[in-house]
Amino acid sequence: MHKNIKFGLIIVVILGTLGWLAAGGISQTASYYKEIAELNKLAPSEKVDKRLRVGGDVELNSISREGRDVHFVLVQEKDGVKNRLNVVYSGIDPLPDTFKDNAPCQALVDGKLGSDNVFHATKLQAKCASKYEAKPVAPLTRG
Amino acid sequence: MENIGALAILLAFCFAVYAIIGSLVGKWAKRPFLALSAQRAVYSVWALLTSAVGILLYSLIKGDYRMAYVWATSNHTMELQYKVAAWWGGQEGSLLLWSWLLATYSAIIVFQNRRKFRDMMPYVVGVLMFTQTFFLILNGFVASPFKMIAAGRGIVDIGDGQGLNPLLQYWTMVIHPPMLYLGYVGFIAPFAFAIASLATKQPGDEWIKTTRRWTLVTWMFQTTGVLLGMGWAYAVLGWGGYWGWDPVENASLLPWITATAFLHSVMMQEKKGMMKVWNMVLVSSTFFLCIFGTFLTRSGVVQSVHAFSEGPIGKYFVGFLAIGITLTVYLILSRLEYLKSESQMESVLSRESSFMFNNLILLAGCFAVLWGTLFPVITEAIMGEKISVDKPFFNRVNIPIGMFLLLLTGVGPLIAWRRSSFESLKRAFMWPALSGLFVSAALFAAGIRSFYALMSFGLCAFVLITVAIEFFKGARAISGKSGKNLLVSMFELTHRNTRRYGGYLVHVGIVILFVGFTGAAFNQDTTVELPQGGSMTLGAYTLKVVGFEEGENENYSWGRPKIAVTKYGEELPMMMPEQRFYFASQTPTHEIALRRRLNEDLYINYAGPGTNNSNVILQVYVNPLVSWVWIGYWVVLFGTIICLIPSKTKLVFPRTEVVGMTSKHAGKPAQVGTNENES
């Protein structure tokens, strides 16, 4: 029995440490998916503390650069209402090539909502219809 | 043409279904000819799928843009190799690649083993063709690569296609998907034999011996695939790193982890007859994680750079996984009696226990990665709120796991089987441990304060010294007897037991990989907006914008700042990162400028023009030791190939083996030792 207790203890210690690390990692980096409509209902304390993740369509021609910051507007339609969100991206990573506002494009931003209701994003992912697969448009036909 | 392709897939589907029914009914009704016809059906499936693939490739190269798939992934201006790579550049084509590789592997497996294992083969064929049927359903009815955007009379011409995504037009992307798929799909061989061995109640380890090479080769492909993906991300995506814990990267890592665990724990079964149930679980989880990886990549369940269009194929995968896992679990549970361990763990300080901890740690890592990847899905199901975790989570959990694995890499091979005393440990590990401590202390004195970096470098030294001692000791013994010099003796030593010494070389490769990973602790980066003539400094480098060029060709337009680089005042060649804009797909891409050196890489990405158009925005990274990641890979590859070479001397492991079962369920006695292909 002695041997099994030893094995058990070591396993418990290893898994315990990893579990503790994982729990810490989750609370440190967790970010909450929200819809734009939900953002306006957040309590002020939540705005500052929580890392949020918001997705939506990039409004056409809304991207503008100001030094290293990139401003744009995300739009999400819910129950027939178009909710808009002003976003400032100031992350370290370069903007993905797929991020653009001259074509229908979706973006997913990570960051915090400021008290001025501008979303300060530190990470950005973008997905466009044409990225991997485009929807075929009406092809050219002749004759 | 396209109708013939679609028809070939449809026929392949029929043959695959026939093969399942034929082999299983043939087995149960004892009609060997029916089972044999099922094996022939496997060859037919391969031939039919090969024709379908041929037609698709022909259309891609010829540019038959009436076909939706060709239109979406190919165009006139692409070079030939990218037209071929367009085969796996989209959803439908890559599923066809899966299917075709599976058919190819199946045909090889059946051909190799057609005279051996007559009782197991029907089940092997059953497993192979069951999976094949699933993929053929996708190919034929859900995501057909032969859909037309223009069909019927009167259509003579369709303009140019969309072209392959420019991000994928890079050499590693040409071979990354096939490599990874070769690894993913190949794991079906050990899995099929494991299932067949369970189904036929084999008490021995025939399935492990038969599939050892398969396992190694597929592991090698998986490693290659993962590393190529890293190389692509580093050289093309322009964010300065090679691993971002993206869901799809994770998906490719998961089966690799369990496959690595499996490669280690089968040794326990071969040599000690232990961990039999565990090996079954590992081989099955690896297989299902391979399918799961394809599912994650293809279905858009989680947000990712790889997420292809969200289609209906997700639910098919879920269905297949559910059926497959249920059947496997049921089979393992009903055969527990045949999987009893033949010996027991004797001591915490033993080779056995080091294997066990290696497995425990690998699986913990696998679980952590899986958990992190699926966290949004899990939290949404439980709490109704999607929560995602990020890089820091993965690093926090996986760095300690990596350290512990590294330690075991050094300890495992030297510790004695059964039990070991502190005395013998001291003898074996004194020098390696001292060198490890010395390296850490020296680096600490040199001013390095990152805890994990110190630990990692120390452990790397520790492992390297243990391996060196092993080689040296063995070689000295041979050289003492034969009088040959040490180098020749080392060669001889490796040749005598390729599996063991090849394994050590793989370990050395892993150590080198870790050296490369550890470099990330010292990464520096910055983003700046510079006017013409402006300059900036990062680390030892000073960058100055001295000019700008732009132009266009038929495929894309480009712009690139000219950057003069000096290091400690010494001038280096000009660097010119480039931004491109592809016309066909209307997407910009970035071609980074990269100066690779053994000690550090200088990595510059041109993000685009700044607020006023003459300014340029640069992202600059200094990444120490990254080159060692790629060097480590080549060593791993070399070691794996050594492992595959048959040993000069056949090794016999003394161990008691179960030769038959006394249980009332037991079938016929096993044919242990009849198969001579072990190396």
- Chain B partners of A110 at a C-beta cutoff of 8 Å? 390
User: Quick one: B550 and B590 in the same domain?
Assistant: yes
Residue B656, token pair as written in the block: 């008691």
Residue B664 pLDDT: 43
Q: Is residue B345 a part of any domain in this protein?
A: no
pLDDT tens for A101-134 read 766 677 888 888 877 778 888 888 776 654 333 3
A26 contacts A33 by C-beta, under 8 angstroms = no
With pLDDT > 70 as the criterion, what percentage of chain B qualifies?
Answer: 91
User: Quick one: B14 and B134 in the same domain?
Assistant: yes
Instruction: Report yes or no: A35 at the B interface, CB cutoff 8 Å.
Output: no
- Chain A partners of B238 at a C-beta cutoff of 8 Å? 94
User: Quick one: B109 and B160 in the same domain?
Assistant: yes
Total of domains in chain B: 4
Q: Is residue B286 a part of any domain in this protein?
A: yes
Name the residue of chain B whose CA is nearest to A33's CA: B386
Least confident of A89-98, A128-137, B91-100, B428-437: A128-137
Domain interval for residue B558: 522-627
User: Quick one: B426 and B371 in the same domain?
Assistant: no
Residue B526, token pair as written in the block: 């910055």
pLDDT tens for B309-362 read 456 778 888 899 999 999 999 999 988 888 877 777 777 778 888 888 889 999
Cβ of A33 within 8 Å of Cβ of B385? The answer is: yes
User: Quick one: B149 and B17 in the same domain?
Assistant: yes
CA separation for the pair A135, A129 (Å, rounded):
7
Cβ of A32 within 8 Å of Cβ of B386? The answer is: yes
CA separation for the pair B541, B440 (Å, rounded):
27
Taking residues B243-264, report their average pLDDT: 89
CA separation for the pair B499, B505 (Å, rounded):
10
Q: Is residue B311 a part of any domain in this protein?
A: yes
CA quadruple B396, B397, B400, B402: dihedral sign: negative
Chains A–B, number of C-beta pairs less than 8 Å apart? 156
B586 contacts B498 by C-beta, under 8 angstroms = no
User: Quick one: B448 and B466 in the same domain?
Assistant: yes
Taking residues B602-607, report their average pLDDT: 89
Q: How many residues in total does chain A contain?
A: 143
Rounded to two decimals, the pTM is 0.86
User: Quick one: B276 and B366 in the same domain?
Assistant: yes
Cβ of A25 within 8 Å of Cβ of B587? The answer is: no
User: Quick one: B366 and B222 in the same domain?
Assistant: yes
A78 contacts A117 by C-beta, under 8 angstroms = no
Mean pLDDT of chain B: 85
Homologous superfamily of A32-128: Nucleic acid-binding proteins (2.40.50.140)
Gyration radius (Cα) of chain B, Å: 27
User: Quick one: B203 and B333 in the same domain?
Assistant: yes
Q: Is residue B435 a part of any domain in this protein?
A: yes
Q: Is residue B273 a part of any domain in this protein?
A: yes
Q: Is residue B174 a part of any domain in this protein?
A: no
Q: Which of residues 56-75 of A touch B (CB under 8 A)?
A: 65-68
B contact test, residue of A2, A21, A69 with most B CBs within 10 A: A21
Residue A48 pLDDT: 64
User: Quick one: B294 and B369 in the same domain?
Assistant: yes
Q: Is residue B505 a part of any domain in this protein?
A: yes
Cβ of A132 within 8 Å of Cβ of B348? The answer is: no
Residue A66 pLDDT: 74
User: Quick one: B159 and B50 in the same domain?
Assistant: yes
B contact test, residue of A54, A93, A140 with most B CBs within 10 A: A93
Residue type, B676: E
- Chain A partners of B71 at a C-beta cutoff of 8 Å? 136, 139
Distance (Å) from the C-alpha of residue A116 to the closest C-alpha of chain B? 24
Instruction: Report yes or no: B171 at the A interface, CB cutoff 8 Å.
Output: no
CA separation for the pair A124, A72 (Å, rounded):
12
Domain ranges of chain A: 1-30, 32-128
Q: Is residue B651 a part of any domain in this protein?
A: no
Cβ of A100 within 8 Å of Cβ of B588? The answer is: yes
Alpha helices in chain A (DSSP H): 2-29, 36-39, 44-49
Instruction: Report yes or no: A112 at the B interface, CB cutoff 8 Å.
Output: no
Name the residue of chain B whose CA is nearest to A5's CA: B348
